[in-house]
């Protein structure tokens, strides 16, 4: 079991951050690497159990299922159903916490998964930095505008 944990501080109130990211179908709006996304079966994107089916700009297709969504705790978690990444039992959690000192937001993104031993380091780096940190950086830029 591999664990990846990425966190940062976003210079915007948690309400604003959450408003930007709570849409499970909204990855194209704020991440730099998703070309298009849809929710399977026409479900609402905040329906627990719904599946987002999105295509990366490099062509790969990923299916992820929403497991939890909390507007109270600014938190959601999801599992990968299908992806070209070679991961198993992948569950990720995205969480935001207000920083009362300065009206900022502490953002955390963590994931646990299994994979072939020789791919562990590369995948941890890709997910932690290439996906989570890159998405956070894009979010910060977006919210600064």
Partner 1 sequence: MIRVTRSTIIDTPVARVWEVLRDFNSHWAWHPAVGESNIENDEPADQVGCVRNFFLKDGNHIREQLLALSDRDYVSTYCILDATLPMRHYVATVQLKPVTDGERTFWHWQSTFDVPRGREKEFEELVGKGVYEGGFEGLRAFLRRGGIATAPSPATVSGAMPAQAVVATAFGGPEVLRYETVSAAAPLQGEVRIRQTAVGVNYIDVYVRKGLYRMIEPPAAIGMEAAGVVVDAGPGVAHLLPGDRVAYACPPPGAYATVRTLPADQVVVLPEDVSDEAAAAVMLKGMTAEYLLHRTFRVRPGHAVLVHAAAGGVGLLLCQWAKALGAKVIGTVSSDEKARLARDNGCEFPIVTRDYRFAQEVKSLTNGRGADVIYDGLGRDAANENLEALAMTGHWACYGQASGPFDKLPDLSAKSGTLSRPVLFHYTAERATLQEIAGNVFRALRERTIRVELRHRFPLSAAAEAHRELEARRTTGSIVLLP
Mind spelling out the 3-state secondary structure of 72-125?
CCCEEEEEEEECCCCCEEEEEEEEEEEECCCCEEEEEEEEEEECCHHHHHHHHH
Site string for partner 1, 111-130 (x = CB under 8 A): -----------------x--
Using the rule CB under 8 A, is 32 a contact of partner 1?
no
Q: Which of 44, 72, 101, 144 binds partner 1 (CB under 8 A)?
A: 101
DSSP characters for 4-67? EEEEEEESS-HHHHHHHH--TT-HHHH-SSEEEEEEGGG--TTSTT-EEEEEETTS-EEEEEEE
Using the rule CB under 8 A, is 7 a contact of partner 1?
yes
Structure tokens at 85: 């990444």
Stretch that binds partner 1, among 35-43, 59-67, 78-86, 96-104 (CB under 8 A): 96-104
Using the rule CB under 8 A, is 102 a contact of partner 1?
yes
Stretch that binds partner 1, among 4-12, 25-33, 58-66, 74-82 (CB under 8 A): 4-12
Which residues form the interface with partner 1 (CB under 8 A)?
5-9, 97-102, 104, 106, 108, 128, 133, 136
């Amino acid at each position: 079991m591999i664990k990846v944990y990425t966190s940062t501080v976003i210079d915007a109130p948690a309400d604003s951050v959450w408003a930007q990211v709570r849409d499970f179908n909204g990855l194209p709006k704020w991440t730099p690497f998703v070309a298009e996304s849809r929710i399977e079966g026409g479900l609402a994107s905040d329906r627990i159990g719904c599946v987002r089916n999105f295509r990366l700009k490099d062509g790969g297709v990923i299916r992820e299922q929403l497991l939890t969504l909390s507007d109270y705790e600014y938190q959601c978690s999801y599992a990968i159903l299908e992806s070209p990444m070679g991961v198993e039992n992948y569950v990720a959690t995205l969480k935001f916490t207000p920083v009362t000192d300065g009206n900022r937001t502490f953002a955390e993104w963590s994931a646990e998964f299994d994979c072939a031993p020789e791919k562990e380091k590369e995948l941890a780096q890709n997910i932690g930095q290439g996906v989570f940190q890159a998405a956070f950086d894009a979010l910060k830029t977006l919210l600064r505008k």
